[in-house]
């Protein structure tokens, strides 16, 4: 059973466009929501993270929007660039089980020049 559901599985965006990736969860014990970026042959690297008491967090071109009542959160990449082409994972941390993290299934983003 997938604790964190991520969509879409793949995404193609024109350079300069907005990339949007969505995640949803059910378990209210999650208390920290990071997004990771992964390039081929490398491990995931933290991109941006948010706590559920904040509705939005922005770092440069990357924004997380968080809807606590709907149990949904999304990553927006503004002015998408070819260098943003990578796989993106959302995740959720369960505070009461020894800091376990649950990951979405990933979104492969391709930004076309």
Please report how close the Cβ of residue 20 comes to another protein at its closest, in angstroms: 18
Query: Of 77 and 106, which has the nearer Cβ to another protein?
Result: 106
Q: Is 78 in the site for another protein (CB under 8 A)?
A: no
DSSP 43-93: --EEEEEE-TT-SEEEETTEEEEEETTTTEEEEEESS--GGG-EEEEEEEE
What is the C-alpha R_g of the chain? 14
Please report how close the Cβ of residue 38 comes to another protein at its closest, in angstroms: 8
Query: CA angle at residue 83 from 77 to 85, to 5 degrees?
Result: 70
Q: Is 42 in the site for another protein (CB under 8 A)?
A: yes
CB 56 within 8 A of CB 66: yes
Q: Is 24 in the site for another protein (CB under 8 A)?
A: no
Q: Is 89 in the site for another protein (CB under 8 A)?
A: yes
Q: Is 98 in the site for another protein (CB under 8 A)?
A: yes
Q: Give the footprint of another protein on this chain (CB under 8 A).
A: 6, 32, 34, 36, 41-46, 49, 51, 89, 91, 95, 98-106
């Amino acid at each position: 059973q997938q604790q964190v559901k991520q969509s879409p599985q793949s995404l193609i965006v024109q350079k300069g466009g907005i990339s949007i990736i969505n995640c949803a969860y059910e378990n209210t014990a999650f208390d920290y929501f990071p997004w990771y970026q992964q390039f081929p042959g490398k491990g995931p690297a933290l991109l941006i993270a948010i706590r559920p008491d904040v509705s939005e967090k922005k770092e440069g071109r990357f924004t997380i929007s968080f809807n606590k009542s709907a149990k949904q959160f999304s990553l927006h990449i503004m002015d998408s660039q070819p260098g943003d082409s990578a796989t993106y994972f959302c995740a959720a941390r369960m505070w009461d089980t020894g800091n376990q993290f649950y990951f979405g299934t990933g979104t492969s983003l391709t930004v076309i020049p």
